[in-house]
């Protein structure tokens, strides 16, 4: 669903050049409100800023905490003067020198996660040395993430030897783009059993669960919402409420909050026909846009074409032309859409790829071939168009 008018998108393409990212703040807030209305006040929602760092500050009005997964993300939050009590300090690798600086800013005000016994000791040593105790979530393992049940139990049985640590709860995330509620049901049953085991074997209560939902979202034509439709979310909430364990729950979300608030604008710069196939070459490419699950343009994402401020995809009925939409990279992999049925396209038409609010900003090979980095624009009805980043040359980063 297009929330920003074609005129606004077209004006952005003319004023800030293409390629460009555009994020609809009203749609972002609306998505937050959608989940909060279903889950209620008893279940917190934490925004994963890795999804789209340009929405971090904008999330503060609705998120309970911001999940920070790297030292660089921490520096973004610090530079934006985000209070440490609003931060959840996570991340697979926590280097000693990074944790030192993060904890000097956050002290005991943030919540921290530990992926390993070594991380537990790093955090404990800094906190106890500086005379405070931090709330720590122990991450239950999945593949390379976290610690297994026995390891967590062993650490908790020796927690009296960790004066800088207060056992805050368990952090659990197994992956993203999970479209079946059955997957969540299995995970919730596993957590319920593990929490009972913790109480039995350590005498400790799990007070908090930080659960990474990994909700799948629909990117391509013909796909519907699965786990994020209202009926399924109500079932998901009922699964949480059916646990024998009763504590505070925080749902860690990113893609499901931001995916449908973004647009990627790229202009057609060359049109040609070879061996009966039509090619539209755009000034963007796969180095700047990524749809999880897309395979060399086999699936068509939600998209449309603007010409002179009008959506020609819907205004004209003659769609007797089929184009391959290709990017500007010197690789045969740069296929955005393999077969796009359309009206006859023209140079300088603007192709609008929708649902690019999550990860598309930097999951591509943004420095490949030293192409410029796209402008980043945010828009709301109240504030209008605000430029967060102008087009920027990247070649200096490759020297």
What does pLDDT average to in each consecutive run of 10 residues of the chain (399 residues)? 83 95 97 97 96 96 97 97 98 93 98 97 97 98 89 97 98 92 96 98 98 94 93 97 97 96 97 95 94 81 93 69 94 93 94 94 84 94 94 90
What was the pLDDT predicted at 296? 74
CATH topology of domain 53-253: TIM Barrel (3.20.20)
| 3-state secondary structure string across the chain | CCCCCHHHHHHHHHHCCCCEEEEEHHHHHHHHHHHHHHHCCCEEEEEEHHHCHHHCHHHHHCCCCEEECCHHHHHHHHHCCCCHHHEEECCCCCCHHHHHHHHHHHCCCCEEEECCHHHHHHHHHHHHHHCCCEEEEEEECECCECECHHHHHHHHHCHHHCCCEEEEEEEEECCCCECCHHHHHHHHHHHHHHHHHHHHHHCCCCCEEEEECCECCCCECCCCCCCCCHHHHHHHHHHHHCCCCCCEEEEEECHHHHHHHEEEEEEEEEEEEECCEEEEEECCCCCCCCCCCCCCCCCCECEEEEECCEEHHHHCCCCCEEEEEECCCCCCCCEEEEEEEECCCCCCCEEEEECCCCCCCCCCCCCHHHCCECEEEEEECCCEEEEEECCECCHHHHC
Tell me the domain boundaries of the chain. 53-253, 260-398
What was the pLDDT predicted at 318? 63
What was the pLDDT predicted at 315? 52
What was the pLDDT predicted at 360? 83
CATH of the domain spanning 260-398: 2.40.37.10
What was the pLDDT predicted at 314? 62
How much is the pTM? 0.93
What was the pLDDT predicted at 363? 78
């Amino acid at each position: 669903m297009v929330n920003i008018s074609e005129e606004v998108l077209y004006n952005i393409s003319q004023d800030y050049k293409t390629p460009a990212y555009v994020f609809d703040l009203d749609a972002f807030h609306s998505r937050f409100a959608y989940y909060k209305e279903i889950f209620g006040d008893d279940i917190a929602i934490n925004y994963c800023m890795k999804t789209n760092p340009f929405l971090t500050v904008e999330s503060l009005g609705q998120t309970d905490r911001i999940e920070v997964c790297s030292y660089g993300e921490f520096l973004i939050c610090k530079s934006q003067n985000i209070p440490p009590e609003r931060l959840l300090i996570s991340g697979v690798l926590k280097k000693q020198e990074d944790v030192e600086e993060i904890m000097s800013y956050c002290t005991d005000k943030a919540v921290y996660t530990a992926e390993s016994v070594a991380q537990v000791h790093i955090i404990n040593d800094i906190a106890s040395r500086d005379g405070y105790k931090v709330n720590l979530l122990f991450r239950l393992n999945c593949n390379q993430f976290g610690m297994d049940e026995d390891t967590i139990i062993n650490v908790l049985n020796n927690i009296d030897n960790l004066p800088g640590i207060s056992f805050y709860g368990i952090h659990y995330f197994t992956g993203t783009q999970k479209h079946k509620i059955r997957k969540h049901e299995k995970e919730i049953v596993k957590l319920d059993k593990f929490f009972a085991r913790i109480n039995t074997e350590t005498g400790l209560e799990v007070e908090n669960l930080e659960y990474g939902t990994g909700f799948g979202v629909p990117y391509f034509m013909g796909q519907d919402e699965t786990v994020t439709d209202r009926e399924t979310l109500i079932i998901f909430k009922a699964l949480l409420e059916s646990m024998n364990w009763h504590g505070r729950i925080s749902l860690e979300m990113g893609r499901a909050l931001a995916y449908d608030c973004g647009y990627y604008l790229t202009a057609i710069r060359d049109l040609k026909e070879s061996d009966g196939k039509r090619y539209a070459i755009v000034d963007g490419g796969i180095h700047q846009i990524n749809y999880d699950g897309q395979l060399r343009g086999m699936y068509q994402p939600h998209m449309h074409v603007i010409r002179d401020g009008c959506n020609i995809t819907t205004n004209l009925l003659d769609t007797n032309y089929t184009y391959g939409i290709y990017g500007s990279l010197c690789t045969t992999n740069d296929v955005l859409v393999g077969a796009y049925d359309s009206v006859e396209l023209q140079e300088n038409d603007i192709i609008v790829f929708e649902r690019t609010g999550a990860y598309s900003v930097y999951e591509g090979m943004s420095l490949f071939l030293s192409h410029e980095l796209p402008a980043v624009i945010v828009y709301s009805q109240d504030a209008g168009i605000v430029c967060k980043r102008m087009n920027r040359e990247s070649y200096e980063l490759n020297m």
